[in-house]
Amino acid sequence: MSYVKRCVHMLLVCSAVVALFGHPSSLLGREKVPSPAGWPVHSVAMGSWLSSFGPKNVEMIPEDSPLDFIAAFVDPDIEEVSPPTTARMMFSILESINAKPTLKPCRLMMVVHTASMSEGWEKGEKDIRDLAIVRTHFQNLIQIVLLCEKHHLRHQKTSLPPYPAALVLNAGFFLQLQKQILNGMEHLSMGGSLPVNEALLDALNSELEAEDLFALLESRGWEGKIIPPFENSLAGLVRATNWMLRCLGPHTHFGWSIPFSWSVLISKNLIGKLGFCHQEHPPSFLAFHQCGSLGSLTDRESLPWNVTVWNKAMHYIDEVSQASGLPIVLMNISGAHLPLQDEAFLPSENQISTGVDFFFESSLKKDVSNLNPSLAAHSLFSDTVEEGHSEITVKDYLSEGGQGWKRCHLDDFRGLVAIIWGGYNMVGAIPSATRPCFDDQGVLLKRIREYVNQHTPPPQEKRD
């Protein structure tokens, strides 16, 4: 798809959002979508993926770290009920961080897959049709959310931040589902074919972690032992999961992970048809994650975004937030910055990452003349440029809307409440103890620190 065609596609996406949610003029004048309880309210919260577990990784966090979150996968065994070992390890790391007086207290952002898609759609579809597997997914998720609630109660008794953990659900599942939608929409319903109600009832009857789950539900205001009926469909599975997490984890924020790329129109269809934002038991946020690093010059699927494309993508996401009333968390954003004249290239997945330069005020000049010369002269793939032109250089591509590099965009979007930097093979805000080649020399942390300091309200004066 050519560059121009992609921009036109993004404009069509915005039109589709208007058709689904209403005209953008109805959104004008609205206030910023509230952050989940306990999260920063004066600024966009900042987080980073951990590159690995263990004490060495904690030691890599700078003493003056401004981070609000650390993120990691905490997937349990998908074939059998298993204790939340990885989640417990993450809470142990969190306690180590919060025990250091020189570090800013932070929270966990834990990614959980309740349907496996790492082996493709065929395996994943079996996961949501098989009663035993669906029940196991519910049981494992129950254990994780109960663990989060126990740590919230511990934090209430101390000066540590409340709501210590948030869950992000099923990144890979909906990415695979998007691919299936290209072949037809029938996979969105699967009406009557998924064992949603039976699996949920079995999981609640299992008394995991020695808990009487029904008694726990009743203590939190849910009366009776009749589970609300859900459709035995994908939409029903989403709503049943929302209901379960809302009831068992009232202090555990959660959101569904939705891929965004040039195929964001499909994401809009998912949001509408699967009932992510069902008003009765809504999630706490929506987590949009980038598909790939979008920062490679050698991978056709990971091409960079310039200011124009970033703005279109973020305005689409912001309109989804305004229409649904849910805040947005951005996941898997490369923390590498565009290299200047005297700076070296980072590994291939981060060669031309632009998220840092877009969201924070970039060191680039408006005409991009101080970009690394060899990078500036590099030609992008022919299928990224306008038809009728043989090639376009990185400099020319990034120069479009170049004035946008000279300002911070973080406060432009009323739905954006958090960004989690790094993930996969991307640079994060926490230096890697095992992959020093991914060290950005502290540039991202410096920019986060400057942004947070600018948005930190002055301490209130004590009155006599």
Among 272-286, 291-305, 310-324, 431-445, the least confident range: 291-305
Exposed (0-12), middle (13-18) or buried (19+): which is 158, by Cβ within 10 Å?
A: exposed
Token pair, residue 397, equals 């591509």
* pTM of structure: 0.86
d(CA 217, CA 198): 18
Model confidence pLDDT, tens digit, residues 186-210: 555 666 688 999 999 899 887 665 5
The C-alpha atoms of residue 62 and residue 64 are separated, in whole angstroms, by 5
- Region 356-382 average pLDDT: 84
Give me the percent of the chain exceeding a pLDDT of 90. 24
What is the structure's pLDDT at 23? 35
3-state helix, strand, coil in the chain (%, to 5): 40, 10, 45
Q: How confident is the model at residue 24 (pLDDT cuts 50, 70, 90)?
A: very low
Whole-number Å distance between alpha carbons of 243 and 348: 42
Give the per-residue SS3 of 337-391: CCCECCCCCCCHHHCCCCHHHHHCCCCCCCCCCCECHHHHCCECCHHHCCCCCCC
Distances (CA, A) of 222 to 107, 120, 333: 28, 37, 39
pLDDT of residue 108: 95
DSSP H helices, 196-251, are 196-204, 213-219, 234-248
Residue 397 burial class via C-beta count within 10 angstroms: exposed 0-12, middle 13-18, buried 19 and up: buried
- Three-class secondary structure of residue 272 per DSSP: helix
pLDDT tens digit sequence for 289-311: 876 555 556 555 556 788 888 88
pLDDT at 16: 39
pLDDT at 455: 86
Question: What distance in Å separates the CA atoms of residue 157 and residue 155, rounded to the nearest whole number?
Answer: 5
CATH 1.20.120.80 fits 3-16+39-454, yes or no: no
Q: With 80 as the cut, is the pLDDT of residue 8 above it?
A: no
How far apart, in whole angstroms, are the C-alpha atoms of residue 243 and residue 249? Answer: 10
- Judged against a pLDDT cut of 50, whether residue 14 lies above it is answered with no
Give CA–CA dist 461/55, Å, rounded.
39
SS3 state at 130? coil
Span 108-156, pLDDT tens digits: 999 998 776 666 677 777 788 889 989 999 999 999 999 999 999 888 8
Greatest alpha-carbon span in the chain = 73
Distance CA(335)–CA(49), nearest Å, equals 10
Q: How confident is the model at residue 21 (pLDDT cuts 50, 70, 90)?
A: very low
pLDDT at 5: 43
Counting every residue written for the chain, the total comes to 464
Task: Look up residue 350 and give its amino acid.
Answer: N
Residue 247 tokens, joined: 């009831």
Quote the pLDDT of residue 240. 93
- Find out whether 65 and 103 touch, Cβ atoms under 8 Å: yes
